[in-house]
Protein backbone atom coordinates (compact mmCIF):
# COMPACT_ATOMS: atom_id res chain seq x y z
CA UNK A 1 0.00 0.00 0.00
CA UNK A 2 1.47 3.33 -1.01
CA UNK A 3 0.59 6.69 0.41
CA UNK A 4 -0.26 9.49 -2.00
CA UNK A 5 -0.47 13.00 -0.66
CA UNK A 6 -3.86 14.37 -1.74
CA UNK A 7 -2.69 17.95 -1.23
CA UNK A 8 -0.10 19.07 -3.80
CA UNK A 9 0.95 21.95 -1.53
CA UNK A 10 3.08 20.83 1.41
CA UNK A 11 2.25 21.99 4.90
CA UNK A 12 4.70 24.83 5.78
CA UNK A 13 4.44 23.98 9.49
CA UNK A 14 5.34 20.33 9.06
CA UNK A 15 8.76 19.48 10.50
CA UNK A 16 9.55 16.67 8.09
CA UNK A 17 10.61 17.12 4.53
CA UNK A 18 13.39 18.83 2.62
CA UNK A 19 13.35 22.02 4.68
CA UNK A 20 14.01 20.19 7.95
CA UNK A 21 16.47 17.71 6.48
CA UNK A 22 19.93 17.83 8.06
CA UNK A 23 21.41 17.13 4.60
CA UNK A 24 19.79 20.21 3.08
CA UNK A 25 22.30 22.69 1.64
CA UNK A 26 22.89 25.81 3.74
CA UNK A 27 21.30 29.05 2.64
CA UNK A 28 23.39 31.42 0.59
CA UNK A 29 25.35 34.12 2.36
CA UNK A 30 24.28 37.52 1.08
CA UNK A 31 26.17 40.77 1.04
CA UNK A 32 23.48 42.34 3.24
CA UNK A 33 23.89 39.55 5.80
CA UNK A 34 27.65 40.01 5.97
CA UNK A 35 27.27 43.79 6.22
CA UNK A 36 24.70 43.46 9.00
CA UNK A 37 26.97 41.10 10.94
CA UNK A 38 29.96 43.41 10.60
CA UNK A 39 27.90 46.44 11.65
CA UNK A 40 26.71 44.62 14.78
CA UNK A 41 30.28 43.57 15.55
CA UNK A 42 31.61 47.13 15.22
CA UNK A 43 28.65 48.42 17.26
CA UNK A 44 29.40 46.06 20.15
CA UNK A 45 33.12 46.83 20.02
CA UNK A 46 32.51 50.59 20.06
CA UNK A 47 30.02 50.30 22.93
CA UNK A 48 32.48 48.20 24.94
CA UNK A 49 35.27 50.65 24.06
CA UNK A 50 33.15 53.52 25.34
CA UNK A 51 32.45 51.63 28.57
CA UNK A 52 36.15 50.87 29.06
CA UNK A 53 36.99 54.51 28.37
CA UNK A 54 34.48 55.55 31.03
CA UNK A 55 35.89 53.26 33.68
CA UNK A 56 39.51 54.07 32.88
CA UNK A 57 39.00 57.82 32.98
CA UNK A 58 40.04 58.46 29.39
CA UNK A 59 39.68 61.85 27.81
CA UNK A 60 36.73 63.26 25.96
CA UNK A 61 38.03 62.53 22.43
CA UNK A 62 37.94 58.78 23.09
CA UNK A 63 34.31 59.01 24.22
CA UNK A 64 33.41 61.14 21.23
CA UNK A 65 35.00 58.76 18.73
CA UNK A 66 33.31 55.74 20.29
CA UNK A 67 30.00 57.60 20.30
CA UNK A 68 30.35 58.64 16.67
CA UNK A 69 31.15 55.07 15.59
CA UNK A 70 28.21 53.74 17.62
CA UNK A 71 25.83 56.32 16.13
CA UNK A 72 27.00 55.55 12.59
CA UNK A 73 26.52 51.81 13.11
CA UNK A 74 23.05 52.27 14.55
CA UNK A 75 22.10 54.58 11.68
CA UNK A 76 23.40 52.12 9.08
CA UNK A 77 21.54 49.22 10.72
CA UNK A 78 18.28 51.19 10.79
CA UNK A 79 18.66 52.25 7.15
CA UNK A 80 19.43 48.67 6.14
CA UNK A 81 16.38 47.42 8.05
CA UNK A 82 14.07 50.01 6.50
CA UNK A 83 15.32 49.26 2.99
CA UNK A 84 14.74 45.55 3.58
CA UNK A 85 11.07 46.14 4.44
CA UNK A 86 10.23 47.40 0.93
Single out the residue of 36, 39, 37 nearest to residue 47, CA to CA. Answer: 39
d(CA 14, CA 4): 16
Q: Tens digit of pLDDT for each residue in 32-63?
A: 889 999 999 999 999 999 999 988 988 889 99
Q: What percent of the chain clears pLDDT 70, i.e. is strictly above it?
A: 69
Amino acid sequence: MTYADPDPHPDPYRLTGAAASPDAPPTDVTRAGVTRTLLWLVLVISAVGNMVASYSGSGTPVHLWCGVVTALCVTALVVQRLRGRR
